[in-house]
């Protein structure tokens, strides 16, 4: 096994030439022979460095509109030849193939072209063939060859050339190969995902290039990592780094707030809303959201869908919270909010979110479509003698949004676009209702005229009876139980309205 390799010959063919000049100058200083193609060859010559055209090496021109430039034994032989192996070296000499010790190659911008909305023909042309082959060949032969497959690694290579005079260690080459295989596998995954839009092949493939090490996972004894680009989604203005549990709550908060368009604030604890209200002004939304459960709000995640002003910031600052998210803040609001150093203050950016969600389970992964459906008054079918009022329909719509984002079994009580209470994660829907009623009464809410929504049907009339006796006047449920009529009869007996939607929103 070779340990140290002196770079004598290099092949360079790149799409992105940013920050490549210092590397070229170092190779020139070291007297390295450079082979290149097309625009890269022209760029290298413009820097005053000598360069050998790949066409002169192979005796074949670039053909098929540039689709075939480097796919030739004189190129790949020089990359894949095993140094110190007599047979390989004899064939290099026989066919006059130079040993290539350094390959600097990147890939056509396939993902960027897809995101731009380009026509399929343009997308297909950005599927790199020569580049991906060169990267894999050089990475495979990392014992003898350095592969640099991204402009992000130019500075590291430049430093090696400067400090080690063109000599590389085994560990350095292996590290570059690791990065190269990461780039090539990510590229192939992106291409597959492009072609598999209708999921004609039922396979699970994901590739995310960026990551962030978290302080720990769900608990201090667990390690945690976030894979993705948080900086694209949030601008952090203040506070400590987001933790694993923060991120889980932030994800739930974003999903919930996206259901609302009028000024709304939600407070979440352990992914469930412990307070949410929609009002004409964001300050009033905060006051009424907090009123729902000021005890649970302590240490929660707060999210707003409108700019936070100074008056609102002053009110929010009266409690301890972990994270505050909003699309914007006034300068005066930020001065108030930054008074406590550990508060995490985020501006949410406009980022298109995926429509799939997945998680590890048993010895595999489960994946599903995100629940992107929500039923408004138009999808509510009245099944009782009494019709819901216009306000009750609005409140049922509001409460149904909250149900959708609350752990099952759940029951949500609401009135006038305000969450009054919810029963969360119970094994019995009756227990969930009783929990919600007890919480609402403990914080002084009058349930007379309130509405109740559920994430599943009522197979027995008990919940309807309990709700009506507490003052509830309208109920929403998916419907679909063979015993639906029992609940409908109880609603009629109690003189309250009931609607069904035909859609269930379990959240386990």
Give me the active site residues, please: 140, 270
How far apart (Å, rounded) are the C-alpha atoms in residues 281 and 278?
A: 8
Give the residue among 45, 41, 39 at the shortest CA–CA distance from 56: 41
Nearest CA to 96 among 58, 51, 62? 58
Give dist(CA 353, CA 360) in Å, integer: 20
Reading across the β-sheet that carries 234-238, which strands appear in turn? Answer: 234-238, 344-348, 321-326, 300-304, 264-269, 272-278
Give the containing element (helix H, strand E) for 304.
strand 300-304
> Nearest Cα to 461, choosing from 381, 375, 384?
384
Helix (H) or strand (E) holding 302: strand 300-304
Asked whether the beta carbons of 270 and 249 are under 8 A apart, the reply is: yes
Question: Going by C-beta distance under 8 Å and a sequence separation of 6 or more, which residues neighbour residue 22?
Answer: 154, 155, 158
Compute CA distances 375 → 3, 271, 356, 404, whole Å: 65, 22, 20, 10
Counting every residue written for the chain, the total comes to 508
* 221 CB-near residues (< 8 Å, 6+ apart): none
Torsion sign over Cα 468, 471, 473, 478:
negative
225-227/211-213 β-pairing: antiparallel
For residues 139 and 177, is the Cβ–Cβ distance under 8 A? yes
CB count within 10 Å of CB 490 equals 23
Distances (CA, A) of 153 to 23, 135, 146, 149, 343: 11, 14, 12, 8, 35
Alpha-carbon distance of 137 to 132, in angstroms, equals: 9
């Amino acid at each position: 096994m070779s340990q140290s390799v002196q770079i004598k010959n290099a092949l360079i063919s790149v799409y992105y030439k940013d920050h490549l000049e210092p590397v070229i100058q170092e190779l020139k200083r070291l007297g390295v022979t450079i082979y290149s193609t097309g625009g890269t060859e022209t760029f290298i010559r413009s820097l005053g460095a000598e360069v050998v055209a790949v066409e002169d090496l192979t005796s074949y021109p670039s053909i098929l509109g540039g689709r075939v430039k480097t796919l030739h034994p004189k190129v790949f032989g020089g990359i894949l030849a095993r140094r110190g192996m007599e047979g390989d070296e004899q064939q290099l000499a026989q066919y006059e193939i130079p040993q290539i010790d350094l390959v600097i190659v990147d890939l056509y911008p396939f993902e960027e072209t897809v995101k731009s909305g380009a026509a399929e023909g343009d997308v297909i042309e950005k599927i790199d063939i020569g580049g991906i082959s060169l990267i894999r060949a050089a990475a495979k032969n990392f014992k003898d060859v350095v592969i640099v497959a991204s402009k992000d690694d130019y500075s590291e290579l430049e430093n090696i050339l400067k400090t080690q005079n063109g000599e590389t260690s085994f560990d350095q080459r292996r590290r570059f190969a690791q990065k190269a295989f990461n780039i090539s596998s990510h590229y192939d995954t992106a291409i597959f995902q492009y072609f598999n839009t209708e999921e004609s092949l039922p396979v699970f493939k994901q590739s995310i290039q960026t990551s962030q090490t978290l302080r720990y996972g769900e608990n201090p004894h667990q390690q945690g990592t976030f894979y993705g680009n948080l900086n694209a989604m949030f601008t952090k203005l203040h506070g400590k780094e987001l933790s694993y549990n923060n991120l889980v709550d932030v994800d739930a908060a974003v999903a919930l707030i996206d259901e609302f368009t009028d000024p709304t604030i939600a407070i979440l604890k352990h992914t469930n809303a412990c307070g949410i209200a929609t009002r004409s002004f964001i300050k009033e939304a905060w006051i009424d959201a907090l009123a729902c459960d000021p005890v649970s709000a302590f240490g929660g995640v707060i999210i707003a869908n409108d700019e936070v002003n100074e008056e609102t910031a002053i009110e929010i600052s009266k409690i301890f919270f972990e994270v505050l998210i909003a699309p914007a803040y006034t300068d005066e609001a930020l001065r108030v909010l930054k008074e406590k150093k550990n508060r995490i203050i985020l501006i949410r950016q406009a980022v298109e979110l995926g429509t799939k969600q997945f998680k590890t389970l048993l010895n595999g992964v489960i994946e599903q479509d995100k629940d992107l459906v929500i039923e408004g008054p138009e999808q509510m079918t009245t099944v009782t003698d009494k019709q819901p009022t216009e306000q009750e329909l609005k409140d049922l719509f509001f409460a149904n949004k909250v149900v959708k984002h609350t752990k099952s079994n759940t029951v949500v009580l609401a009135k006038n676009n305000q969450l009054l209470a919810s029963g969360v994660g119970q094994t019995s829907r009756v227990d969930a209702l009783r929990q919600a009623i007890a919480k609402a009464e403990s914080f002084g809410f009058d349930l007379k005229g309130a509405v109740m929504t559920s994430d599943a049907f009522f197979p027995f009339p008990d919940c309807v009876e309990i709700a009506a006796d507490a003052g509830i006047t309208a109920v929403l449920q998916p419907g679909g139980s063979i015993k639906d009529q029992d609940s409908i009869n109880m609603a009629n007996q109690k003189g309250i309205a009931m609607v069904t939607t035909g859609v269930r929103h379990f959240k386990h």
